[in-house]
Every structure is written in C-alpha cells, then in structure tokens.
Chains A and B, each alone.
Chain A
C-alpha cells in the first residue's frame, strides 16, 4: 500500500516536472521569436566591470633557520644548505633544512624580479673563507621567462639566474633574477635556495641576514 502511494507520488512529481519543463520550453521559444507572454517591455542591461592591474609578490616560505650549533674541533668549516645538506662530520647540532625560500607572483601582472641581501658572507658569518650563496629555479615550470612583446613573457628555461650556487648580491647591486616572472597560476612560483659555509673561526651568537625581493611591474 505504502509502496503504491510512493509510486503515485513519484508519478505525480514526474508529470508536474514535465508540465513545468514544457511550459518553460514554450516560453523560451516564444521569447526567441521576439514575442513576449506578459507584454512587459524588454529592457537591455549592461554588465560592466573594471578589473584593475595589481602587482603583488608573496614569500610563501619566508624564513630559513638552521638553529643553533657549532663547527666541530676537527673541522675547518661546516657547510649547510636549504636542500638538506648538513655535514654531520663538520657540523654539530645545526638543524637540517630541506626547503628554501619560495616567491610567488600572486598579482595579475607579470613582474621583473631583483633580489639582494643586506650582508655579504664576511658580514653575515665572518671568519676565514666564509660563504653565503644562493641559486634560483622554477618551482612551477615556466614561472620565469624572457620579456616578450608588451607585458607578455616568453618561455625561456635559462631566463632565471643564477641556477647554481653563487655568492649573494648585496643591496647596492641586486641580482637581476628573473626578467619576466609570470602572474598566471600554475606558473607563478620560484625557488630561492641558500647555502652557507660557517668557518671554525666565524662570529658567534645569533647571526641574521635579510633577503629583499623587489618585484617591478612590466
């Protein structure tokens, strides 16, 4: 009995839906012919939007911290980088860092990217033959290209530089890292890997360095 009722109810719903759909189809075709059912005036409307250009960058990873540690007595230096290098024979207690800085273009405009450090290796670490190096790469493929016509980027895998560890550039002479850093997802993310060599006679205490990324709209 209950099953019958539910079936009937179902049939009623189907018929109702058919009627509604036939009615709406009729309305659609009448409108398409230019006729109107209600006799109301047909008015035109304009949808308008103004999307402004926005240049924006984001350090999605903005801190590298190898923690506290020291160079072993038997070693002349300890080398660390953001790709997991932590030389245990030479380094004691430093944290292993497996990810460097990440820079994302989260605006709607392609930009050129310059990066600098406020310290050289000697200023940051001191001691005998210290090293403070960086290298850059596309995290998402084709994020960095050459500058094309107008504001466009052109695919160029070697546009991003330097691609191997190179001494950091200082604020007075920033490194021109990417001539055309794309704004379109999913090609808008760059890697900045860091490598340091801490000499056994380096400065002690908390050492800090600041990496500045300047993005300029193109």
Chain B
C-alpha cells in the first residue's frame, strides 16, 4: 500500500496578509484523505482539482495573518492518509510534505552563510557569502568585510559595497581571489557583517593544494632483533585524487642500508590522511640511533626524506617475580582443592576410626552378653 505526495517541501517567507498557493499531487493505492496540520494550518483552505480513489490534485491556499508572534522557521504539514480497510493486522500509510514559513524577527536581524571551495595552487578561489534579512525591517546599509587569514595572520582583506536588503530577501556576495595570490596552505575566512548598528561574524576555511604528500606521523622506536608493528601516516596536500602511493623505507647507518621494506600501494582522495601498518623485522640491527630514509612515490611524483628512528632493547619480562592474575587465580584454586582434599581425607579417616572403635565396643559387649547367658 503506497502513498506519495509531491512536492515534498516548500519554503515561504512570512509576508503579512500574503496568500501563497501551492499545488500538490497525491498518488495512492487506496482511497485517501488530504489535509493540512500543524502551525499555520488554520490559515489554509484546500481546493480540490481532482480526487479519485487512487490519485488527487489539490491547491493549498495559505493566507498569512497580519501578525505572527513567534519568529523563526515553522513547518506546516500537508498530508495524505489512506483510509482504513478490514484485516487482522492491517496497515495505513500516511505521508506528510511540509511548508516552512520563515517568520521575521522584530527589528533588524540578519543571518549569513560563508563558503569557499578548496582549490589547487594557481586556481582562483571563489568565496560566496549569502546574507539573509530575517528581520521585520529593511536593512539599508549592510557592509561586509572578509579577512583572509593564514596561521592566524591576515593576508588579504576584501570589502563589499553597501548592501540594501529588503525584509525576507537575501543578498549573494561573491568575490574571487586570483590563483597567483595565495600559496599552498590552509586559509581561514572571517566574515564580519555590520548593519544598522549591529554586527555578525561567521567563519569558514579553505585549502590551496599542492601536488604533494606529507608524512604526518610514523613509529619512531622499534625493538632490536624483533618483529615490530610499524605504522606510517601520510596526508594528501592535493585537491584531486592521487593514485598509487607507496613508500620504500630504509633504516640506514650513515650511508649503509641495514633493512628495507616497501609498503603496499594505495590511493588518496583529496586531502585524505591515511595510515598504513606492517611488520618490520629488525633482526641483526644493533641498538642505536639511525636514519629512516623514506622514498615516497605518489602518482608521477617521488621525494626522499630522512628522519630519525631508534632501535632499542625490548623490555625485560619479569615473569619470575610477577605472576599474571590468571596464574594467581589458578594457584589459589589448586591450594583450595588440596586443602579440601586434605580436610576430606582427615574427616573420612576420623569417621572410619570412630566406626571401627564403635564396632569393636559392640563386639566386646556381645561377647560379654554371650558369656553371661552361658
């Protein structure tokens, strides 16, 4: 039993006394009812264009009142529900679309969304700011200042023209930073909107990529003459996918190679951080400080980096002095069993002795009785 309604959503601004008309189509396998419910439903009337057992077309007239006390977004539901039919455990399906009514705030009230896409070096950065006037009064002198920051320092400032935004309307501000203006890195945007003596601040980030993969972390210490779990984490600094990344890792003592491993290949999606782990046998490498040479291959790029790695003695296991909990528990159980057995044997022996003594006494009594009879 299916029931569907279209459109599923509608968004309207609160304009006092204004009438919105939305046409809905409903499809159902069974006869159904069509109605509105929730906030603002009392301001609606429904005109049926067509209504059969399995489909319908309806016009919903939403005539907004002159005043509505609560500002913000309110959802009115436009619903269709199947009518009941008989059966042991039967079903009814109902579907609800919504009309979101955006009621303005008293006085001046603006909201703002800031967005910028990540790019690669040389590509222009497009920054979009959407300013919405959600207040009851028109905003006549809004100004926007965008501060582009890198490592907390301001690198560029962009100012908008004076903006006029009517109540319920929005203003889209777009600016482009040329591709040659920014070096690769992470940037912040601090958007400061000032309007009618008020202000609002929003932030966003974007990245400028370079065709590179960075090693962000790795295992710095391994035990000698052991098989160690070695991990190395890399991060793509490129705003496109990088195919076939792998590393040749060598522990070197000066220019002498002591041990080399090759990681399995993997791909990196834009800006992905990825950790790869594998086992590394350090047999024959004495304790000491060495160079870890990393030859990083990524797509058609390759780079070599040297870092420090320490081969250390494995910790001494103190098995003789410290018993694991499970061994202690086993020992206690064994002692209890021995104790129980000893107790059982002793009590059993005592009982046997007592029985023997009693049997002996009985025998001598009987003999005495026999002699008396004689």
A binding-site residues for B, Cβ under 8 Å: 52-59, 62-66, 101, 103-104, 106-109, 111, 194, 206-217
Contacts and interface: CB of A to CB of B under 8 A. Distances in A.
Contacts of B94: 212-215
Interface residues of B, number: 27
Interface in B26-40: 27
Nearest to B30: A62
Contacts of B287: none
Interface in B1-20: 1-9
A66 B87 CA distance: 11
**Majority secondary structure, A binding face:** strand
B132 interface: no
Contacts of B79: 214
Contacts of A194: 89
A212 B91 contact: yes
A209 B5 CA distance: 26
A206 B87 CA distance: 9
Contact of A208 (B3, B8, B88): B88
B90 A209 contact: yes
Given A56-B5, A210-B91, 13 more contacts: A52-B7, A56-B95, A58-B3, A59-B2, A62-B1, A63-B90, A208-B90, A210-B89, A213-B92, A213-B93, A214-B94, A215-B94, A217-B96
A59 B89 CA distance: 13
Given A56-B95, A106-B2, A217-B9, A211 B27 contact: no
B95 A57 contact: yes
B110 interface: no
B8 A55 contact: yes
B247 interface: no
Contacts of B96: 55, 214-217
Interface of B: 1-9, 27, 77, 79, 81, 84, 86-98
A206 B6 CA distance: 38
Contacts, number: 111
Nearest to B10: A53
A85 B305 CA distance: 65
Contacts of B90: 62-63, 208-211
B49 to A, nearest CB: 16
Contacts of A215: 93-96
A62 B91 contact: yes
24 contacts: A54-B8, A56-B4, A57-B2, A57-B3, A58-B2, A59-B93, A62-B1, A62-B90, A62-B91, A64-B88, A64-B89, A103-B93, A108-B8, A207-B88, A208-B86, A208-B87, A208-B88, A209-B89, A211-B91, A212-B94, A213-B92, A215-B95, A216-B96, A217-B9
Contacts of B86: 208
Contacts of B81: 212, 214
A31 to B, nearest CB: 31
B87 A65 contact: yes
A111 B3 CA distance: 13
Contacts of A54: 4-8
A213 B7 CA distance: 20
Contact of B4 (A106, A208, A212): A106
Shortest beta-carbon contacts, A-B, top 5: A56-B4, A58-B2, A53-B8, A217-B8, A55-B8
Contacts of B88: 63-66, 206-209
Contacts of B8: 53-55, 107-109, 217
Contacts of A63: 87-91
A84 to B, nearest CB: 16
Nearest to A194: B89
A207 B84 CA distance: 15
